[in-house]
Amino acid sequence: MAAISREEVAHLARLSRLAVTEEELDRFAGQFDVILQSVARVGEVAADGIPPTSHSVPLTNVYREDVPTPSLTQEAALSGAPDAYEGRFRVPRILDEEE
């Protein structure tokens, strides 16, 4: 049995904001099956009661002095934007026309 269906891959691609093509879906679905069966091996390890490690450095909240320092200018921050308008990032519409 496949570990993951083509429909599930399509759903995950939507969640990931990837407009994948039908051809990509066909290819990825088969490849994910192999990859997932391999990575699922982590389940073989008896790890009940073992604390998770998110990070190898034993640090919690790192604070700095709350002092203003220079940062990027508005112009520099917008320098790589695909579209800008009056000093701001310009985006496609986020609401439907009728809303």
Partner 1 sequence: MTDLTRLNAASLADLIATKQVSAVEVATAHLDRIAAVDDRVHAFLHVSRAEALAAAERVDRGEVTGPLAGVPIAVKDVVATEGIPTTAASKILEGWKPPYDATIVARLKAAGMPILGKTNMDEFAMGSSTEYSAYGPTKNPWDLGRIPGGSGGGSSAAIAAYEAPLAIGTDTGGSIRQPGAVTGTVGAKPTYGGTSRYGLIAFSSSLDTPGPCARTVEDAALLHAVIAGHDPRDSTSINQSVPDVVAAARLGKNGDLTGVKLGIVKEFAGDGSEPGVTAAFRESLDALVKLGAEIVEVSCPHFEYALPAYYLIAPSEASSNLARFDGVRYGLRTGDDGNRSLEEVMSLTRDEGFGPEVKRRIILGTYALSSGYYDAYYGQAQKVRTLITRDFQSAFEQVDVLVSPTTPFTAFPFGSRTSDPYQMYLADLFTIPTNLYGGPAISVPCGLSEGLPVGFQIMAPTMADDRMYRVAAALESAVGTLTPPAL
Among 5, 7, 26, 83, binds partner 1 (CB under 8 A): 83
User: How many other CB atoms are there within 10 angstroms of residue 9's CB atom?
Assistant: 21
Q: Does 41 bind partner 1 (CB under 8 A)?
A: yes
Q: Does 77 bind partner 1 (CB under 8 A)?
A: yes
Q: Does 6 bind partner 1 (CB under 8 A)?
A: no
Q: CA quadruple 81, 82, 84, 90: dihedral positive or negative?
A: negative
Torsions phi, psi of 89, nearest 5? -70, 130
Among 1, 22, 56, 67, binds partner 1 (CB under 8 A): 56
Contact between 29 and 5 (Cβ < 8 Å): yes
- The label of the residue with tokens 């904001």 reads 17
Q: Does 17 bind partner 1 (CB under 8 A)?
A: yes
Counting residues that bind partner 1 (by CB under 8 A) gives 55
**Rounded distance between C-alpha atoms, residue 37 and residue 49, angstroms:** 24
Minimal distance in Å, beta carbon 79 to partner 1? 5
Q: Does 19 bind partner 1 (CB under 8 A)?
A: yes
Q: Does 92 bind partner 1 (CB under 8 A)?
A: yes
